[in-house]
A and B are shown apart, each in its own frame.
Chain A
Amino acid sequence: MMGTMKEKIQSLPTAKLARAGLRLLHPSLAAVLARDWLGWRRRPKDSRSHLDAAIRWICRAQDRSGGAGVSAGYSIVHGWHPPYPETTGYIIPTLFDYARLTSRDEFRDRACRMADWELEVQLPSGAAQGGLYRGEECDRQPVVFNTGQVILGLRRAYVETGDQRYLDGAERAGDWLVSAQSPDGSWRAAGPETETLVHAYDARTAWSLLEIYRLIPNEKYGKAARRNLEWTLEQQQENGWFQHNAFFSAGRWKLPLTHTIAYVMEGLMESWRLLGDERYFEAARKTAERLLRIFELRRFMAGEFDSSWKTTAKYSCLTGDAQIAGVWLRIYQATRDTRFLNAALKLNDYVKETQSLSATHPGIRGGVKGSQPIFGRYTPGVYVNWGAKFLADSLMLEEQVMEEFERAVRKGERLGPGGLGAFLL
């Protein structure tokens, strides 16, 4: 009864407003707002420090939502969000990678807890729900893209542990995806997070089906993935921009964010790695080269672009930045074109400059904002768990690439373009 009364009081608009006001009084938040308003960025430290901070932030986000699913993020107005099934799904591989890098089982255990939670909240159809998880009783609609991202986590948990439950969960999710696909290869379905029905960034969903196909050699997964990838190629314009790649068809989010543009490139790159079809690689490279030129000439990566790569955006989408840096690093690995490595180092630096390593506030320290500055158009005022995830991925890859690069320099090897074959499975 007392709990109910307390909840009622807490849900009053004035109480919410008061809490938001109190949050904003925290010196760390005031410092963030002041820095962003003045455009004052930090000098980036070594990548390992930023990586460790991002992972610790993810761990705190997991602990804040019960130690299983990962809180979607920290809002400077609303506080910690509930856990997010989609992004928890793709955070699982990141934590396994970090556990391997640091040889610490704590992160492996955390990744397993996330995978267990994904199985708990999986819908009876096998799909993953859209949006944040607010309990069994709330409206939980199945969403294609989110299901694909959860598959990536479950598949990795199976590979790491051999626990059949994870593979069964991934298979159920894969079956649902195959059944929900349109004949043209796209997925057309309404969801709670987007107004648009069809998305080029489902290339990442196709990738998830290919990952299942590697473990369960049932042709339906491979065929469904290929159908979608062919459809994705058709969405690419001659200038590298992808149609059908935004969350909304009108208004403020009608343009694709660099976050969704990078999703498409990631899906194509990973599918190329698994299938060896160079058309997927070339499509990703075409977009990546365009973005590289824009970034190098403007020394800034805007958060969104129209179909002729024009933008009026004054904010940068930090998640998209980290993802693009990761794609550039993979292209460097495949082609040995050092311009991609160079641009990736610079773009990662940009994101590092926006990440506080010393704030006393647990929602801010190590977190990655949706936008730079913080009130940019993408998730204003929120430190998002997927930003921390993609920064961590990109920094882990950066360190690996730079180690190899330095070794080659020390050996006096000539550094130049190479074939693509070495990176195919």
Chain B
Amino acid sequence: MVAERASTLASLREWLWKYGPRVFIEKSAQKLLRLAGLKQASRGAPGRRLRAAGKQGVTPAVDFPVRFVDSHNSPECVELVRSLRPDALVLRGCGILKQPILAAARLGAINPHYASLPAYRGVDVTEWAALHGDPVAVSVHFVTEQVDTGAVIVSRQIIVEPGDTTGRLRDKSAAAAAELLAEALNKLEAGATPSLAAPGVVGRQYFSMHPRLRRLADLRLKGL
């Protein structure tokens, strides 16, 4: 795993300037808690090992090293990833990646996205689909330099049940994403090309949802 090392001082300065002291204190506290649980390794060197017990019968237990870089787009990161000779990159919670890092793996980079593509690109897409009354889905797609515009490899609709909230749908989507990632990697390993056509830049890019609209998304789910 290659994770970005957040520059603590830069983050603190940005939070203070952008959000003011109250949010600054909240975010700093969160950061301290996170740091207490995750000891960062020195630049480019192997860090702590990540161990995760697999879901019984679904995914195997994993145990692999974590390496930290300043930025996923940095030459240091590109060099590191190339030296690992990966078949594919699996992205989780990354920013926009540039071509050098995307081209570092033989089969490309893939990413799970919690909505249908290309209709719902961007962030908070589970909430946006729920708000609009559209099906909620998870897609695994190839990553390009543009936001969520790569070809879709696999996708699955999430069943919305009475009592679901947007938070609950996100949990369901996360579970589905783990399975779909494995499915997508198997497909790539088997040499399958994406069955769905590349969507190109169509659909809409959504941004973080305002709390008032988020409440209405939950209200709509409640009424189902």
Residue numbers of A with Cβ under 8 A of B are 38-41, 296-297, 299-300, 337-339, 341-343, 345-346, 349, 402, 405-406, 409-410, 412-416
Contact = CB atoms under 8 A, between A and B. Distances in A.
B216 A406 contact: yes
B92 interface: no
Interface in B173-224: 204, 206-210, 212-213, 216, 219-220, 223
B37 interface: no
A64 B18 CA distance: 36
A300 B133 CA distance: 30
A345 B219 contact: no
Contacts of A345: 210, 212-213
Contacts of B21: 38-40
A409 B224 CA distance: 11
A342 B128 CA distance: 10
Interface residues of B, number: 24
Nearest to B24: A39
B55 interface: no
Given A410-B219, A412-B223, A39 B213 contact: no
Contacts of B212: 345, 402
A299 B20 contact: no
A338 B216 contact: no
A300 B18 contact: yes
Nearest to A336: B132
A342 B216 CA distance: 12
Nearest to A295: B207
B18 A416 contact: no
Contacts of B132: 338, 414-416
A338 B209 CA distance: 10
A339 B206 contact: yes
Contacts of B18: 39, 299-300
A346 B211 CA distance: 9
Interface in B19-62: 19-22
A339 B216 contact: no
Contact of A415 (B19, B133, B219, B223): B133
B131 interface: yes
16 contacts: A39-B18, A40-B20, A40-B21, A337-B204, A338-B128, A338-B132, A339-B204, A339-B207, A341-B213, A342-B207, A406-B216, A409-B219, A409-B220, A412-B220, A415-B133, A416-B132
Contact of B17 (A39, A337, A402): A39
Contacts of A38: 20-21
B134 interface: yes
B210 A405 contact: no
Contact of B131 (A41, A297, A338): A338
Given A338-B132, A341-B213, A414-B133, A39 B20 contact: yes
A412 B207 CA distance: 23
B16 interface: yes
B210 A346 contact: yes
A300 B19 CA distance: 10
Contacts of B209: 342
